[in-house]
Structure 1
């Protein structure tokens, strides 16, 4: 499935309020489905679908929402329930019990401010320049602002669903197409092992590094200032939520949204570069949810957006038909990349010194070499180390040099 996004422009205040009502009603249907599941035994997906019809008969405002949009909200509720059951069966530590969604005017999560239409309730113009929402809320016609690639997909691909998302800087329409993205990759015959970190965003086996711009740290001063201004505009029980309060709330939301978009743009561009330049990419599969429990490093880890970067690596690996491997990070920093001897280190120790083979290199470079070795062993390529040189059996190569040839995205 391919998702393209357009901004909804040239709407009146009444039209945007109609979209707000549709989003709030979709949230109401989802919360009612969660309540039914909590209160009754044996509730399944079919029972939640029947609930949509019952809500339309009982509440006039729920009937205004398109029937397929109500079904989509019930499906979203069932998805959270089924995920909860799956995690329980797997014995996960965090079960993720389904929760109710609030009317989060101050929130920044897209999922909490969304309404999803299927094949009805909306109509796209013949030139794909405008979209008209035709359900009971009658939000009306909006102009679509998007790039040329999105416009071309609107003409040539079948639209499966349309999702309206409210963000701090406006309303967006996300079009879901029934297609998979495949492109011809540029095969270079190179492999790379990536060690993610905080001092460097990542280092790979030839000792080269990429430094992260630290977008949150840069914007932190302004965000704190906007948060203080927002706090002064409203005091619970003393001051009402005035127009100035909502203006301050929107300014704060836009500041957070800018940081979010900067991180996403950085992750996408860097992942594209890494995957396009290499045929095999090996990275460490970090348990970030456990790492952020360290409150001394939690903000820096969250700011680094490792998860978003690795997700983009996996995505572009599928698009260009290249091999992307995630390996366990266990002892990659401790084991010597030359002889395998385990050398205990603290986080402050930045140099790897092996007392067994006298190897002395950067800690992150040593980890990247170990990560690459693990990944290539998963792919069935045997790597040997001889006097600091790496290579497949019978094909030695210099440190950090590709020693496995790749043809059309597959290892020889």
Structure 2
């Protein structure tokens, strides 16, 4: 599934209609959550039927396309099913009980309620919300795909305007020649990552660099009177600053992950629990700024596209274990050099990257194994956790 995004241009009345459609989608989702809370045993089909009841009782809900209403009900059911799955897994702490949505920024259409122009440069929404025709501007081309391949269309509001996302049903894979290289990656805060070959990549620290401008924009918001138009304009400027940093992180993660995956046949990385790591209030901002999880997501995605093996290994003792003899050498976070009694002296992060690579190779077997099974071991769907063989993973 590919997702192409285009900037949408329209009149102010059309943008207001988009806001109205988004509010209606939020209302339907929250109403479905309320129905599930009030009536025990409510299932997915009951929520789908409830959309017609809402359309009959509320005229503004009837203005939204019927499939868009169903998509909002599916969003409600996805949060409910996720809560049930977390309960079955026995996850400690909060299980993610479905909550009412306060800030919704998108509405999703399925295969009806819209019509794409022949030149693929504009789209017309045909429901009663009166959104009308929107011009599209982007770097991608939709001429390579048929209309029946577009399964969903999503209208998204951001700080700098409205966007249209096209979800296209297409097989994303490319055949590339094996490189014969393997690499282990140890992510960090000082260096973005250090690989098993000793190559270090500097941490861009986008939030730290833009923090001065963010603080200035935040002060301007605070000085404006609540509810005034000037405060709204200042909030929009602040939102654009945050959006720029978000896009910088994503662009960096995408380009870096693609480069790493194309250069290696096997990529091993730590299976980090970022949610637990950010509980450390001293490092939370730096960890979120590094965007390790986003980097991992794109590593696994490009692993699937280019048919490379991506292995998530257990991070326990990767910084303490010696890559030469395997002895545990305890060190604090401030100790940046690994020194072992066996005579091994190297950078702490490079030593950890070598341990990660050895564990990744131990998971998939010898180096010839992934060369044979690489067509079946794909990124996100086939990221091999430590302790499971590659053959078991592919068979599952």
2:383 is matched with: none
State how far apart, in whole Å, the 2-side matches of 1:223 and 1:251 are: 10
1:139 to 2:131 alignment: yes
C-alpha contact 2:120 2:143 (8 A) present in aligned 1: no
State how far apart, in whole Å, the 2-side matches of 1:251 and 1:157 are: 39
TM-score, normalised to structure 2, is: 0.92
Which residue, out of 222, 233, 236, partners 2:224? 233
C-alpha contact 1:194 1:283 (8 A) present in aligned 2: yes
After superposition, the C-alpha distances for 1:283-313 in whole angstroms (9 at most, x for unaligned) are 1111111111111110000000000001100
Aligned-pair distance for 1:19? 0.6
C-alpha contact 1:114 1:166 (8 A) present in aligned 2: yes
C-alpha contact 1:5 1:150 (8 A) present in aligned 2: no
State how far apart, in whole Å, the 1-side matches of 2:36 and 2:241 are: 38
1:285 to 2:285 alignment: no
- Which ranges of structure 1 fall in alignment gaps of 5 or more residues? 105-111, 235-239, 382-391, 393-402
C-alpha contact 2:160 2:240 (8 A) present in aligned 1: yes
User: Secondary structure in 1 aligned to 2:307?
Assistant: coil
State how far apart, in whole Å, the 2-side matches of 1:347 and 1:77 are: 43
State how far apart, in whole Å, the 2-side matches of 1:406 and 1:39 are: 54
C-alpha contact 1:188 1:406 (8 A) present in aligned 2: no
1:366 to 2:351 alignment: yes
Aligned-pair distance for 1:404? 9.3
User: Secondary structure in 1 aligned to 2:142?
Assistant: helix
After superposition, the C-alpha distances for 1:341-371 in whole angstroms (9 at most, x for unaligned) are 101111111111112x121111101100100
Aligned-pair distance for 1:176? 0.8
1:192-231 → structure 2 map (5 Å cutoff): 192-231=183-222
C-alpha contact 1:327 1:371 (8 A) present in aligned 2: yes
1:118 to 2:110 alignment: yes
Aligned-pair distance for 1:208? 1.2
C-alpha contact 1:352 1:359 (8 A) present in aligned 2: yes
Report the CA distance shift for 1:222/1:283 in structure 2 as closer, same or farther (over 3 A): same
Worse-superposed segment, 156-165 or 121-130: 156-165
User: Secondary structure in 1 aligned to 2:321?
Assistant: coil
Structure with higher Rg: it is 1
State how far apart, in whole Å, the 1-side matches of 2:372 and 2:324 are: 28
State how far apart, in whole Å, the 2-side matches of 1:197 and 1:354 are: 22
State how far apart, in whole Å, the 2-side matches of 1:264 and 1:136 are: 36
1:121-200 → structure 2 map (5 Å cutoff): 121-147=113-139, 149-155=140-146, 158-200=149-191
C-alpha contact 2:266 2:370 (8 A) present in aligned 1: no
The alignment's C-alpha RMSD in Å is 1.7
User: Secondary structure in 1 aligned to 2:191?
Assistant: coil
1:311 is matched with: 297
